[in-house]
A and B are shown apart, each in its own frame.
Chain A
């Protein structure tokens, strides 16, 4: 809402400094975004009269003028303007003048001195809408009542200030000059000067000229109409154009301008249309018929449905009620008789129709927020007052008023004690009454009654807010609330936090990525057509395809970030993210037993109509460059699991598992699924070369994804201390010759099984392949085996016997002692 300060001045004395005004209104609830002083970037421009215009001695296209600027002697100005002549009044930018486009200095133009410049409309930041009589191309020839030498601001009314307000949706009444005048008066405790409009009119019987019937009095509670005959269409006067301009509305002609003026002043949309096109001179406010069509003013044909409200004549709809008129209903140059409409349409009706037709207008924006339901007639009268003031036609002195409005004001119990205890204030009842009275509230039998323009009052808290904002939010004290509450992080929150800290401690940089991604990722990570990860939660109105589905895997987001870093020439990256996946759930779950009731009232709880997807948390790790390889990644995973107290995990080839479809994005020979007691905890490995290419990463890349709920389940709750050894350990080294494809985990399993309780640690210290071994498809694996007993020092015999068992077990799986 842009407010003209001059216009505001009609209703309240607002002569305080503009900054003070903006601050005060902001602090009482009408937030000022900014303000603009018109013509602020123009100075030293005055009205001048051209005394003579003669040829230039050196240039055919230039003229030399003597100009009277109200000073002792005329000044000489060289111009190329063809549209000025002797006797014209023009804006003259003097030597040293400032204009939006720069400074003006005296100069010689082709050898003849010029002491200034004539200004056109655009030079002054104006358009032909501001001064319709002026030539938009040439110099602005002023036809205003002004003095020679007068400053241009006051001469042409370029001296208003426009204040831009951000009005919240609960206060549509403030989308008007009078609404803001009321707020100003309440904020500063000033008198408000709003008079009921008056018009004289000419004799005539409206009922013989026009008939109005409301067929749906719920959706249209009031319809006022009147007629202006012998209309004279033309531009509106300067003061009106100025105010419209300051309000951000383009002046068009006197009739359109009057409807806009009244709408801006009171917040009531007005409609003016040509009586000729109302067939049967009969207006019916009725529901549309299904399939009924109307061509609206914007030139689009719209098909209507029976839940929409139209203004119709006897044959056809002429307007969609409260939204837009039909194509032929507007004012034409040859219009002689105009009908003015001022009505109250129910907000939801307008809103739904506007949404359904995807059609918005200034009028619909106001109706759907809610206008003052009691001012339809006042506004009709105001329009007629203006018609007479502008001499735009003859107003018939009788009007139509079909009124079905409920005039009962909104009322709330007035409870000063409760208000004080709710706000934490210590105001007297008299103070509260004074604040509320300033806001036009009244009191009656222990109740406070809201004025009709306040559509947002319904409970005690609303009254408390009114008191608080006039008292000043910043005058309310600050207190500490009482009571004891026990607070702690939940086990999930603790676990996630520890995991995050551990991932960072191991060298990961934490990232944050979007939850929605492009569905192209399915193919980018090589998911098979039937992969369950292709079943996604889809957004119907995404910003673009790139953010149109909720991810079912966090891996693509990680790959995007790795790719971004690689392509920004960052040599290496080790990243991690803790975030959610969104997995559709087929079966709809219902609340069971007590769960189905609200804990505080025992009433039934809202049931979900559709099953929401699961949102499990994942830890995703990704790396490239530096010392990244499969084992660096695996080391990080192992250390993380260890830190989170997760033991007894196994690594199986990802290609042998169906637990994660991300396996298709990984190198089949260099990827693993992390298992514990039959549960898959996560997947990790080298990114498949094709996927790496797709993501345009030029070096080997590694990634892991761990399921946080499963990790939490697997984590030992308690760390139990193991006593430090009292007796020395005995160590034996084993060098084994095995087939190339023998996984070392098998060997370790065999050793562990055979050595039993006294085994302390198996450490792999060498993997070797001689040429000979390679030829035979063999490799050599060397272990250091540490054994220890808690009962006493192990004897050589004990150790040797354990080794013998180990060798036997190893031989059974095809591993022999290397000679």
Chain B
């Protein structure tokens, strides 16, 4: 009986060795260890053994069972692992095929840059003011120290509205919002006002009858021209990095005094001079200045007590500089191949 047991163990191990799939392995388990299996068959003969032999054989039988079980589980693990590997091999895919895209939209480049500027100014304590795009002569010109017949009006090719005796017009500058704000708010005033403006310029690569400006206005006691410089430098460093330099040039706007034009070091050459900046090293960026005392007065603010500064940025120019866009028309054509790039 002892030999029988040992023979079963040897046989079981041989067959296990040869087994290659999980189902056959289960059959082997039944064959050797099942209720009708070979080991059970032998153990049924235990009754015929002597009381001395019984514990010895019993122990041996248990060991054989344990050995076979262990061999079975080892084999099962190996087969499972083989099967897993085979499956993984089979499931191999071309990971260079493109991914499946969920619909995902884009914001217009004008919006992206405008949002960026809005956030910078909110962080600096500026509120965002809105004003009408169709406004009257008073808010767009007169209150801003541009009385009728002022020569500077010539440069602003204004669109006028029918049946209003040339008093209602499309605003040519967001500066009109300065007037609305100062009519209704008390200092300290800190606002920016982004929006559409209109001038009768024919469409070409750098002109459009409609474009966007961002107006800025600060009015408080003790506001100085050096504050204007500090604010604009801070804005441009946040937008274009710490290396950009600003250059302030005297200029003339009727609603500021002193007035300046502000140039930024060329995006392309960084100030050395190149074809993009016409060898200047600088590119014209915006107009600014200290709010003209007459403008404060027109809005009911005493210029002897308060002072302020104002500036106007051209959004299109900033967008074009930011993304190297060389033709303004692209912004209003809205080709999806263009819009998809931002």
Contact = CB atoms under 8 A, between A and B. Distances in A.
Interface of A: 26-29, 31, 34, 168-171, 347-348, 351-352, 368-369, 421-425, 456, 459-462, 464-465, 468-469, 473-474, 476-490, 492-493, 497, 500-501, 503-516, 537-543, 547, 550, 561, 564-565, 568, 570, 573-576, 580, 582, 598-603, 605-606, 608-610, 612-613, 615
A55 B155 CA distance: 61
Contact of B248 (A474, A511, A537): A474
Nearest to B331: A512
A573 B106 CA distance: 12
A422 B210 contact: no
B183 to A, nearest CB: 5
Contact of B226 (A369, A476, A612): A476
A603 B122 contact: no
Contacts of B317: none
A509 B340 contact: yes
A348 B260 CA distance: 26
Given A510-B111, A539-B170, 9 more contacts: A422-B225, A507-B102, A512-B111, A513-B332, A514-B210, A541-B200, A574-B105, A599-B183, A610-B164
A493 B121 CA distance: 14
Contacts of A511: 108, 334, 339
Interface stretch (B36-44, B71-79, B229-237): B229-237
List of 9 A-B pairs having minimum Cβ-Cβ separation, nearest first: A424-B226, A507-B103, A601-B300, A598-B300, A29-B250, A465-B258, A168-B252, A504-B105, A485-B125
A461 B136 contact: no
Interface of B: 102-108, 110-111, 115, 118, 121-122, 124-128, 130, 132-136, 138-139, 143, 149-152, 154-155, 159-162, 164-168, 170, 182-188, 190, 196, 198, 200, 202-203, 209-210, 218, 220, 222-227, 229-231, 233-234, 247-252, 254, 257-261, 278, 290, 292-294, 299-302, 307, 331-337, 339-340
A479 B134 contact: no
A466 to B, nearest CB: 9
Given A169-B252, A473-B249, A573-B336, A424 B103 contact: no
B133 A606 contact: no
A479 B227 contact: yes
B299 A600 contact: yes
Nearest to A352: B149
Nearest to A369: B151
Contact of A171 (B135, B200, B252, B292): B252
Contacts of B331: 512
B112 to A, nearest CB: 9
A541 B160 contact: yes
Contacts of B103: 506-507, 574
Given A462-B257, A468-B258, A615 B149 contact: no
Given A423-B225, A574-B105, A615 B134 contact: yes
B134 A468 contact: no
A511 B107 CA distance: 8
A197 to B, nearest CB: 29
Contacts of A473: 248-250, 258, 260
A540 B161 contact: yes
A459 B303 CA distance: 11
Nearest to A30: B250
Contacts of B155: 169
Nearest to A481: B227
Given A500-B111, A507-B105, A477 B226 contact: yes
Nearest to A536: B162
Contacts of A480: 227, 230-231, 234
A142 B57 CA distance: 139
Given A541-B200, A610-B136, A575 B334 contact: yes
B174 to A, nearest CB: 14
A538 B163 CA distance: 9
Contact of B339 (A26, A509, A612): A509
B227 to A, nearest CB: 4
Contact of A368 (B151, B170, B185, B202): B151
Contacts of B130: 492
A490 B302 CA distance: 28
Nearest to B294: A459
Nearest to B108: A510
Nearest to B157: A541
Contact of A512 (B108, B138, B224): B108
A492 B258 CA distance: 35
A29 B202 CA distance: 29
A34 B278 CA distance: 10
Nearest to A544: B202
A538 B161 CA distance: 6
6 contacts: A168-B251, A422-B307, A473-B258, A478-B230, A481-B231, A575-B334
Contact of A582 (B134, B209, B261): B134
Nearest to A562: B334
A425 B227 CA distance: 11
A476 B227 contact: no
Contacts of A573: 336
A456 B333 CA distance: 43
A585 to B, nearest CB: 11
B228 to A, nearest CB: 9
B251 A612 contact: no
B105 A505 contact: yes
Contacts of A486: 125
Given A462-B257, A474-B247, A493 B252 contact: no
Contact of B151 (A169, A481, A503, A574): A169
B334 A465 contact: no
B152 A423 contact: no
B260 to A, nearest CB: 6
Contacts of B110: 512
Contacts of B333: 561, 564
A464 B300 contact: no
B226 A479 contact: yes
B209 A514 contact: yes
B105 A613 contact: no
A543 B201 CA distance: 8
A425 B226 contact: yes
A473 B226 CA distance: 9
Contact of B250 (A468, A493, A574, A582): A468
A219 B261 CA distance: 35
Given A422-B225, A539-B170, A541-B160, A613 B290 contact: no
A351 B151 contact: yes
Contacts of A509: 105-106, 108, 334, 336, 339-340
Contacts of B334: 509, 511-513, 561, 564-565, 575
Contacts of B249: 26-27, 29, 31, 473
B132 A489 contact: no
A511 to B, nearest CB: 4
A564 B248 CA distance: 42
Given A368-B151, A540-B162, A576 B105 contact: yes
Contact of B135 (A28, A456, A538, A612): A612
Nearest to B227: A481
Contacts of B104: 504-505, 507
A613 B250 contact: no
B160 A539 contact: yes
B340 A600 contact: no
B292 A170 contact: no
B300 A29 contact: no
B162 A461 contact: no
A489 B128 contact: yes
B335 A565 contact: yes
B246 to A, nearest CB: 9
Nearest to A579: B196
Given A461-B292, A509-B340, A615-B132, A424 B224 contact: yes
Contacts of A538: 161-162
Given A507-B105, A599-B186, A615-B133, A476 B335 contact: no
Contact of B301 (A27, A489, A507, A600): A600
